[in-house]
A and B are shown apart, each in its own frame.
Chain A
Amino acid sequence: MKETAGDTITIEQTVHIAAPPETVWSFWTEPSRLNEWWATDAEVIAEPGGLFRVVVEGGHVMRGTFLELDPPHRLVFTFGWEGDTPAGPLPPGSTRVEVTLTPAEGGTMLVLRHFDVPAIQVPDHRQGWRQFVGDRLAAAAGRA
């Protein structure tokens, strides 16, 4: 599910997990457990302001900072990639992820919201969509 707000969107995903919130929580904060689903290598300092660094397949590195930790209910961290990704740059600190864990149906309802994700980028990463459109419109108006 996505919500559009200007040039950025919020990505929201929900998944039910047949495991207690405490177990699901540990998969976000214990490096060895992160390696089971996301990371090939992870560094976690699970405290506000602490480092959250996840090396993924292909060698890309997600680097974030924990903003809020309320075990086992809510986790907020900044999210960005060191260097470019196949889809363009998303520098550390540029987006924010919130994970909430709620007991539900004998397990956990996990809701992930990824805020401030750029909606559209043009191949030239220095320009946003608005810039792209604005330039074209200005060019069109200039010729009118």
Chain B
Amino acid sequence: MTSAAAQDQHRLDAVAHALADGTRRGILRLVRDGERAAGDLASAFPEMSRPAVSQHLRVLHEAGLVSIRPNGNQRLYRVRTEGLAEVWQFIDEMWTDRLGRLKNAAERAARREQGDRGPDRGPYQGPDRGPDGSRH
């Protein structure tokens, strides 16, 4: 076995070991959608001691399944995405970006259409507006 292949095998062993435990799979689910502080994660497993949760986090980190970002006196954990192409993240960001553009384009169009009908009635003033659009 080449050294690179041995390294791969070692990494896969670490991943398999990390994933073989139900608590660690639970932690992975929690950090999949975003960063979570170690304290947060510990409180999600009230039946376990904090050092035990920390030990699980260490195993996940050594297997390369989570990343750690220090933030003040906290350590923030999240699923390590390197090498994991995450379609949902791509789509989530796409819609955030595109719906922002849609909002701007539709609001520009609405202002133009409103301008065609007469003077600008100004910003929304509340629901107490007559059927003809006049304010009370």
Check A118 against B87 for contact (C-beta < 8 Å). yes
Check B105 against A33 for contact (C-beta < 8 Å). yes
| A112 partner residues in chain B, CB cutoff 8 A | 95, 99
| A137 partner residues in chain B, CB cutoff 8 A | 16, 19-20
Task: Give the most central of A23, A112, A122: most B CB within 10 Å.
Answer: A23
| B13 partner residues in chain A, CB cutoff 8 A | 140
| B92 partner residues in chain A, CB cutoff 8 A | 2, 11, 13
| A120 partner residues in chain B, CB cutoff 8 A | 32, 79, 84, 86, 88
CB contacts under 8 Å to A, within B12-40, are 12-13, 15-17, 19-20, 29, 32-33
**B109 on interface, CB distance cutoff 8 Å:** yes
Check B105 against A87 for contact (C-beta < 8 Å). no
Check B101 against A11 for contact (C-beta < 8 Å). no
Check A114 against B95 for contact (C-beta < 8 Å). yes
Check A2 against B88 for contact (C-beta < 8 Å). yes
| B83 partner residues in chain A, CB cutoff 8 A | 122-123
CB contacts under 8 Å to B, within A1-48, are 2, 4, 9, 11, 13, 15-20, 23-24, 26-27, 33, 36-38
In the complex, A24 Cα to B72 Cα: how many Å? 43
Residues in chain B within 8 A of chain A (CB atoms): 12-13, 15-17, 19-20, 29, 32-33, 79, 83-92, 95-96, 98-107, 109-110, 113, 124
